[in-house]
Structure 1
Amino acid sequence: MKLTLDFLNQLHQNNDRDWFKEHKKQYEAAKAEFAVLITALLEHFTNKLDPAFSTLTAKDCIFRLNRDIRFSKDKTPYKTYFGAVLHPDGRKTEKPLFYLHIAPNNNSFLAIGVFQPNKEYIKKIREEIDYNADELKAIFNRKEFKKYFDGFSEMENGVLKTAPRGYPKDHENIELLRLKHFIVEKTITDKELLSDDIAEKLAEIAITGQPLNDWLNVVWQEVEEVGSKH
């Protein structure tokens, strides 16, 4: 991932359209390198997680580099990272997924779970935690899971200030109930990204985190069932 990291480093210092235009070839090479990694990951996922991943190409997974600056005070035109969602339904899915974020200076990570679940979904997740948090905690307590993850990520503005409506403030699982996102993350160093077996390493991390997505998928199916009855 050397071309990718080098390009993103330079883009960070020169985030304007003229510079980007002059370095279009460098961008294309970096993007192609990232696409090779995503393609390799999709192959691993197809073989080890779900044959449905075979329907995807890297293009289906990778986000555009252009930023949406319409409502932002920050008017820099480009993101200074590459991002991709890996899920058989494509990158716009609301279901539990894998997200790969590549940024220089050891700021890359692989995230697993669900970000900003919709109103019905988060309601069901909280009900599940209320009824049966033991199953979720058992996933987090697995030795292999602990090797890569230590609890849900505490994201900026990602936790309610108080208990969600209908739950007591002293609920035994209040920390879980207050979450707005249900994501675990594993940091990926630049050194790891530059290694030849980075696709295998990322696949191993993803497979280890899959039980969390399985748990969240069961809850998602309940949401779909309720929706289909209305």
Structure 2
Amino acid sequence: MLEVKNLTGGYANIPVLKDVSFQVGDGELVGLIGLNGAGKSTTIKEIIGLLQPYGGTIKVNDLELSSDLKAYRKQIAYIPESPILYEELTLREHIELLALAYELDKEAMWQKADGLLQLFRLQDKLDWFPSTFSKGMMQKVMIICALLLEASLLIVDEPFLGLDPLAISDLVSLLEKEKALGRSILMSTHVLDSAERLCDRFVVLHSGQVIADGDLGSLRQQFDMPDASLNDIYLTITASGVTG
């Protein structure tokens, strides 16, 4: 479970987040949505420890980054918007490095990796280097590596960018399976039609503040838009910048 409480933060002398609070429960997929510059990326960077909060708390399964760095980070798997791979390592070596860094059982890890490689049609690319991959292939590598960790919290930033329709369908199925296993999933996305179908709940950020938090039904009720889509509600509340 992820708990963000009264979070303020940003970059040196540039405050971005203002008293942000929300939760992602076990087996729950929460969509983090907002305009460019709303604070989504800053929120994610605070959660994974790339930025130090000005104030507030972030807990993953009651662990804080400041209390036990190694244990905290082992709770989280992260799929970034832009793939980050080592140019000098093959796909096989990326997976082996992951196993070494996170002290994974190699036999069990490779058994799961084989299934994911087959699913994303990368089983014959194990000895390829990232320079030979398309952006979509690199994104698939990031997805595979994140899912191999079997972390309790999965953070996914714009997961559909660069993926072909078949890979998107595969990823959606995998996210549903991760939910069923009890994983907490925080997904930042601009693809609101997909978010409406996938997410259990939505956290809407605007100018560094949470201006809405709830499932589609509660958002419709809160903003008196009984038949509206998530996209309609999103456009209305971000244009006004106020809660209902």
TM-score under structure 1 length normalisation = 0.26
TM-score normalised to structure 2 length: 0.25
Higher relative contact order (CA 8 A, sep 6+): 2
